[in-house]
Amino acid sequence: MSGTTRTTAHVAPPVGTDARRDGLGDGVGRGPSGRDGTDGLDAARVSWSVDGRLVLDGVDCTAPTGAVSGLLGPNGSGKSTLLRVLAGVRAAPSTAPGGGAAQVRFDGADLLALPRRRRARVLALVEQDATTDLPLSVLDAVLLGRIPHRSLLAGDSAHDREVARAALARAGMAAFAEREVATLSGGERQRVHLARALAQEPALLLLDEPTNHLDIAAQLDTMRVLRDLADDGVAVLAALHDLNLAAQTCDHVVVLADGRVVAAGDVHEVLVPEVLDAVYGVRCEVLTHPRTGRPVLTFTPQD
C-alpha cells in the first residue's frame, strides 16, 4: 500500500494533571505539538536498528490526548521496539536513514530530552511479560510507580499509598495487595504492572500487549480502564494483537509492517480489507456491530 491513510481522531480537552504541570512546565512549554495541531504524542522519523538490520524505518506516529490509540501489526513489525524507543528505554539514532532529525514530542515538549525522572512524571510504559524474582508484595510493586513523584530519600507517604491502592482497585487487583508478585499468574502480574503505571499518574500511557495472558472478561476490563483514562484526558497508545479489541475500543490506530507505518487514522477507515489483507496475509471481512456501530472483523486464510 503506498501512502498513509490519515484521519483526525476525536480529542477530549486536556486534563490538568500533576504530570502535565511537573513534567512539561517551566521552560519546556506545551503549545500545539501534533503536526495536525492537536495535543498529545507526536513522533516523526523514528528509526532503530540492531546488528545491521533496520527494525524501525522512519516511523511517524501520533497518539492524541484524550484518545485510545492502537498500535497494530503482525509479529516482528516493530511495535514493541517503537514503544520502547518512544519511552526512552531504547535510544533512537538522531537521524533517520533517509535524512532528517528524529523527533518525539509530547504536548510540544521534546520528550526524550527531558531528564529521566521528569519524563517518568509524564509517561508510563507497561511492558509485556515483565517479571521479578524479588520478594515484593503487590502493593510494594505498585508503589514503585510513585518514585518519580517524591524526593530521592523519601519513603512512601500516606498519599502515595492512597494513590497505589486506588490504582490497584482500578486495575481490579485490590484484593491481591498483600500477595507476593512471584505467586501470581501471568494475567494477574500483567494487571499489577498496569496498576503500577496508573500509580505514576501519567499524561501519556504506553502499553505493550496489555491484554496478554488475560481471559476475555479481564481483557474487556483492561480496555475499559484505557477508555476511562482517555476520557479523563490521558493519551493512551497500546500495542494490540486482537484487532477486534482495537476496533471495539480505539479511536485511532497506527498499522506497522516491516518497521514502517502503512496506515494510520480512524478505525473505520484503517481497519478495512484494503489495509489488513496485505499486512496480515489474510482475507478480512468487516461487519458492523448492531449496537455500537463499531467494526467487527472476520478472517479467513488467503487461497
| Average pLDDT by stretches of 10, the chain with 303 residues | 37 36 41 52 94 92 97 96 94 64 90 93 89 85 94 86 97 96 92 96 97 93 97 97 97 97 96 97 97 97 89
Q: Residue 45 belongs to what H/E stretch?
A: strand 40-50
According to DSSP, the β-strands at 68-72 and 235-239 are parallel
Query: Could you tell me the three cell numbers for 207?
Result: 502499553
Question: What is the pTM for the complete model shown?
Answer: 0.86
pLDDT of residue 213: 86
Contact predicate 93/47, CB 8 Å: yes
DSSP E strand stretches across 87-203: 103-106, 109-110, 123-126
pLDDT of residue 152: 75
Handedness of CA 252, 123, 21, 174 (dihedral sign): positive
pLDDT of residue 61: 95
Query: Could you tell me the three cell numbers for 33?
Result: 505539538
**No. of H helices and E strands in the chain?**
10, 12
CA atoms of 272 and 274, how far apart (whole Å): 5
User: How far is residue 91 from each of residues 25, 53, 222, measured CA to CA in Å?
Assistant: 24, 16, 29
pLDDT of residue 189: 93
Query: Could you tell me the three cell numbers for 303?
Result: 487461497
Contact predicate 64/236, CB 8 Å: no
With H, G, I as helix, E, B as strand and everything else as coil, classify residue 42: strand
pLDDT of residue 7: 37
Q: Residue 275 belongs to what H/E stretch?
A: helix 273-280
Cα R_g (the chain), whole angstroms: 19
pLDDT of residue 94: 57
Query: Could you tell me the three cell numbers for 24?
Result: 512539561
